[in-house]
Structure 1
Amino acid sequence: MTSPEPHPAFQSSPGAAVPPWLAQVSEVLSDGLGGADAARAWERRVRREVERLDGRVPFRVVHDWYCAAVGPMLAEAGARRGGSVAPQQGVLALHGSALDGGRIDESTWRAALEPELRELFHHAYPYAEAHATAASAAGSYALANGYDAAEAARYGETYAELNTAANVRAHADANALANAAAVAAAYAAADPDAYAATWPSARVRAVVRVHADPRDEQGERAAWARLADGLAACLARADAA
Structure 2
Amino acid sequence: MTEQGDERIRRAFENKTWQEIKVTDSWQIFKIMAEFVEGFEKMAKIGPCVSIFGSARTPRDHVSYELAEKCARLLTERGYGVISGGGPGIMEAANKGAYEAGGKSVGLNIDLPFEQFNNEFIDRDKLIEFNYFFVRKVIFTKYSQGYIILPGGFGTMDELFEAITLVQTGKMARFPIVLVGKEYYGGLFDWIQNTMLKAGNISEEDLNLYRLEDTAEDAVQHIFNFYEKYLLKPNF
Identify the TM-score tier after normalising by the shorter chain.
Answer: under 0.3
More strand by share: 2
Q: Which has the higher contact order (CA 8 A, sep 6+)?
A: 1
More helix by share: 1
Greater C-alpha Rg: 1
